[in-house]
Amino acid sequence: MEKTPKSMRLHIGVFGRTNTGKSSFINFLTAQNVSIVSDKPGTTTDTVEKTMELLPFGPVVFIDTAGIDDRTELGRLRIEKTNKAFDRTDLGIILTEADVWGDYEDYIKSELLKRKTDVIVVINKTDIKKPSEDFKNRLKSLGLNFIECSSIKSEMRNEALNKIKLFLKNDEPDKKIINDIISKGSTAVLVIPIDKEAPKGRIILPQVQVIRELLDGGNTAVCVRDKEYPELLKTLRPDIVVCDSQAVKFVCENTPSNIKLTTFSILFSRFKGDFKIFVEGAKFVEQLKPGDRIAVFEACTHHPIGDDIARVKIPKWLKEKVKGEVKIDYFSGLDFPEDLSVYKMGVHCGGCMINSKNMILRQNFFKEKNIPITNYGMLIAACNGCLERVLTPFKI
């Protein structure tokens, strides 16, 4: 369970005012002291995450957030972190106390519903005070489901978890990265360049996940560097080839047209987000002009090196494509621009480090502004004149 990537887990966010017991509640649910607990308001200064196995859903992530009512200067920064947690929450829990509901709770509810996130209310500290019938009726009138709980009573833990499960959804439990576009027993060749960006002694997460899914589905995975790829094709005819986006032009030129071909980044654009939005965004590359401003998103945070794909290679390919320089702003991790209107388009990485909720929400922000967004793999393929080729394995 601990080795399951956080991006593959359902995210449960716990929100509320300061000192409503959010940290105690997560400690209570996970049966571990993962969050600092204190009677002093504002103890939680940043979002804290804890994973646990929640059967039958598997690994989930509980997100402990700072109090939404902290109006100090430091509190403002804490609330910014809390607001970012809304974007990756699959189920939102509003933690409150008996007969306490006001503007702060309404704000949390509206932010979650705006993101089409399911919401439940947990009335905490019922050992101190029970909620009145009027309060429960008010929650019902707001269309909110609720449970009553006391985080200091360990015997209530299983009951609370079982009630939370009733509201937890996993709409796409069988969503596949690659196995749904090939037949069982297929052979896949994975072209993985070993260059400056390849981590020493290992391969990156998307490649690992593709290999694992292929093996789980009874398929064969053959890994090869781009340098040895043409020689491999002399003795092997795979059913599909998946390459690193940086090698897409070379691999396209050396792959027979009757063999399916795509990239790791494109596989993950479909797995994590709305595939059609990314495809339409990729077509907009043909309309880019020198001087256009682009937002580039890297879901992971890493130290850029001399041959960095986002800061060196993508600008180079774009310059060649549009016959001039474009302006690029970079956003790493969970950072996201407040004003999208200044951009001609957005370009997102494969998104292996964020969950589908966050990826689709980001796409929808662009869609609402009528601004195209695509992903690294599609952009690179478009710049190299092989977009149509790498989209052939998919029904679009």
CATH of the domain at 10: 3.40.50.300
Distance between CA atoms of residues 302 and 197, nearest Å: 11
pTM here?
0.79
User: Which 3-state string (H, E, C) describes 214-229?
Assistant: HHHCCCEEEEECCCCH
Same-domain status, 106 and 199: no
- The pLDDT of residue 2 is 46
List the CATH number of the domain containing 257. Answer: 3.40.50.11420
* pLDDT of 36 higher than 80: no
Last residue of a domain, one of 167, 192, 209: 167
Tokens linked to 159: 């009951």
Same-domain status, 50 and 102: yes
* Lowest mean pLDDT, pick from 107-121, 185-199, 249-263, 284-298: 185-199
Question: Which residues make Cβ contacts (< 8 Å) with residue 161, sequence separation at least 6?
Answer: 29, 54
- The pLDDT of residue 107 is 94
- Hey, which of 153-157, 270-274, 304-308 has the most confident mean pLDDT? 270-274
Same-domain status, 185 and 250: yes
Structural domain span for residue 256: 179-267
Same-domain status, 77 and 209: no
Same-domain status, 211 and 330: no
- Which run of H or of E encompasses 240? strand 240-243
Same-domain status, 53 and 132: yes
Q: How many domains does the chain have?
A: 3
Confidence of residue 146 (pLDDT cuts 50, 70, 90): very high
Confidence of residue 121 (pLDDT cuts 50, 70, 90): very high
Tokens linked to 11: 């995210």
CB 46 within 8 A of CB 82: no
Asked whether residue 257 is assigned to any structural domain, the reply reads yes
Largest CA distance in the chain: 76
- The pLDDT of residue 76 is 64
Same-domain status, 10 and 101: yes
Distance between CA atoms of residues 56 and 167, nearest Å: 13
Same-domain status, 240 and 158: no
Same-domain status, 53 and 118: yes
What is the share, in percent, of the chain residues with pLDDT greater than 90? Answer: 63
Asked whether residue 132 is assigned to any structural domain, the reply reads yes
Asked whether residue 200 is assigned to any structural domain, the reply reads yes
Assign residue 339 a region (left: φ > 0; alpha: ψ between -120 and 50; beta: otherwise): beta
Distance between CA atoms of residues 370 and 281, nearest Å: 10
* pLDDT of 44 higher than 60: no
CA distances from 246 to 106, 115, 192, 256, 311 (A): 47, 34, 9, 19, 13
Bridge-based pairing state of the strands 345-348 and 118-124: unpaired
CB 198 within 8 A of CB 250: no
Say which residue the tokens 């589905």 belong to: 217
Last residue of a domain, one of 267, 298, 315: 267
- Which run of H or of E encompasses 60? strand 58-64
3-state secondary structure of 160: helix
DSSP state of 380: H
Using one digit for the tens of pLDDT, what is the confidence trace for 304-327?
555 788 899 999 999 999 999 999
Same-domain status, 48 and 153: yes
CB 271 within 8 A of CB 278: no
Q: Which residue has the higher pLDDT, 336 or 172?
A: 336
Q: Which amino acid is at 186?
A: S
Same-domain status, 89 and 152: yes
Last residue of a domain, one of 267, 300, 321: 267
